[in-house]
Structures are given as C-alpha cells and as structure tokens.
C-alpha cells in the first residue's frame, strides 16, 4: 500500500511499515487546501491535526482508509468519507501520556506563575517576593471531565501529586470501573456537584454537538473563586467570550487549544 502521512510521524513507525512492504510518504507541510492535489495514488491517509475536507476525499482515486493518529475525528469530514466508502478510524490513547503530562505542566505553570516570571526575567525585572508565592496543588481537588485514556492518565498524575480527583458517575464497563477504582478517582452524581468542589477542572472530552460550547458562563459560574481551567482537548468546548469574562473575574486558565486555530502547516 501507499501511505501518506500529512503530519509528522516517528521514524521507527515508518521503518515498521516499510519492512512490511508498504510505501510511505511524509509531508507535514501539507495544508488542508493543498491536500486534495497530493492525495492521488495513495491507499491510506494518516493525519493528526491536518483537516481532511470533502474536497480531499473527492480528489482521492485510491483511498480506502483515513487514520486519525489520536482520539478525536472532528478534523475529518466523515460524512464525505462514508459516501465514498472510505473507512475512518482513530487511535484512542495514542498520545494519552503526552497530553496528560502537558495538562499537569500547565497546572504547575499557572500555580507557580512560571510564564509571568519568565517574561519579567527576560525584561530584566526581578520580583522574588511575588514569584515565590503559590497555592500549591497538594490537597487540592481536580475535576476530570472525560474519563477516557487521557482523562485517566491525568487522574493518575494528579493523584501522584496528592490531589483528590473527581469524575462524574456514568455507565461504564466493568474493566473501566476497575481501573477507575484502582486509580483512586471518586465518582460523583452530577457535573454541578463536581464543579462546585473543584479547584481545578481538566477537559478531556471529544468535540461533538453535546460538548461544543459546554464551558459557558453558567458552567464557569459554578466554579469556586480562583479555580483553574485546563483545556488540552478541543478549543470549541469553550465559549471564548464567557471565558474572557471569567478570567477578568479571577479564573485562571491553561489552554493548549483554541477555536479556529491555524493549521500546523502554517507554522502557527
């Protein structure tokens, strides 16, 4: 098979595919607009953040599979793929550890005011008294919204820091419940109950009609004063204007994703 990677991929993964007789092409510079002219002749397309539009799918002459190297598939036009008989699959948990480490890094950076400290230091400002102050995260409560592979990985790390971790009680498989229990996550009956106790909220749900805009003014109003919101999932989960108002009122936020963010190929 001929496989096109429209985002960066580790070399050892390519070697495994080549050893199995597959031809691999990596072009992480391709944008969503350029992908239609590049897709011809490929059997498989692998993406991370690159958008796969209906134009790309219509331009494919051999494509049988689109793989999203991650959990969410909202950057792929699944309806267009289905109409062409092209399979779409994802790889849940593929980047769980990396995202969990990022979420904890954002949390620590906010608590210790690291970005502000670094910015001041680079501008030759030294304010030791201000930047030695921190609330600390030991003994604090984190609400994890979305308890899949990434959410559980975050929960495990938060517990290692001595935090209480809450998640909403939902129907789950016996295996999932066993893992939740072994991690030490406490299940609560409602989102409202969880938010009211949370010093930190970490978002790990996919983008869907039900989750788009879920973090709005009403959601944010339920958080205690000075709470921290972490979003390493999807930018569209958050209503930006409501978040800005909450930040002005004292909320703190660590964001890795934004609505309408540029494609990775744009270098932004």
Tokens of 89: 């699959």
Backbone angles phi, psi at 240, to 5 degrees: -60, -45
Query: What architecture (CATH level 2) is domain 2-90?
Result: 3-Layer(aba) Sandwich (3.40)
Q: Which of 189, 247, 239, 204 is nearest to 219 (CA)?
A: 239
In sequence order, the 6+-apart residues with CB closer than 8 A to the CB of 194 are 143, 145, 166, 167, 168, 188
Tens of pLDDT, residues 44-75: 999 988 999 999 999 999 999 999 988 888 89
Host H or E run for residue 245: helix 240-248
Query: What architecture (CATH level 2) is domain 96-255?
Result: 3-Layer(aba) Sandwich (3.40)
Domains 2-90 and 96-255 share a fold: yes
- 10 Å CB burial of residue 100 (0-12, 13-18, 19+) is buried
- Radius of gyration from C-alpha coordinates of the chain: 21
Beta strand pairing call for 87-90 and 228-231: unpaired
- The structure's pTM equals 0.81
Domain ranges within the chain, ordered by starting residue: 2-90, 96-255
Tens of pLDDT, residues 154-183: 999 999 999 999 999 998 889 889 999 999
């Amino acid at each position: 098979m001929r496989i096109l990677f429209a985002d960066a991929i580790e070399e050892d993964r390519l070697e495994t595919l080549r050893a199995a007789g597959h031809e691999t092409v990596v072009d992480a510079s391709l944008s969503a607009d350029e992908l239609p002219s590049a897709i011809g002749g490929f059997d498989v397309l692998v993406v991370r953040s690159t958008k796969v539009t209906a134009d790309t799918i219509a331009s494919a002459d051999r494509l049988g599979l689109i793989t999203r190297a991650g959990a969410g598939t909202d950057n792929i036009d699944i309806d267009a793929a289905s109409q062409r008989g092209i399979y779409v699959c994802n790889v849940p948990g593929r980047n769980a550890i990396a995202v969990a480490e990022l979420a904890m890094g954002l949390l620590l950076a906010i608590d210790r005011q690291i970005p502000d400290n670094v910015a001041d230091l680079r501008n030759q400002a030294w304010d030791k008294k201000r930047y030695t102050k921190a609330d600390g995260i030991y003994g604090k409560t984190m609400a994890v919204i979305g308890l899949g592979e990434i959410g559980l990985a975050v929960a495990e790390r938060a517990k290692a820091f001595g935090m209480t971790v809450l998640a909403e009680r939902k129907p789950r498989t016996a295996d999932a419940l066993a893992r939740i229990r072994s991690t030490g996550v406490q299940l609560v009956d409602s989102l409202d109950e969880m938010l009211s106790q949370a010093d930190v909220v970490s978002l790990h749900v996919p983008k869907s009609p039900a989750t788009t805009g879920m973090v709005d003014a009403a959601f944010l109003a339920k958080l205690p004063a000075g709470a921290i919101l972490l979003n390493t999932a999807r930018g569209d989960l958050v209503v930006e204007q409501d978040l800005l108002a909450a930040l002005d009122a004292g909320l703190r936020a660590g964001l890795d994703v934004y609505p309408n963010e540029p494609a990775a190929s744009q270098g932004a």
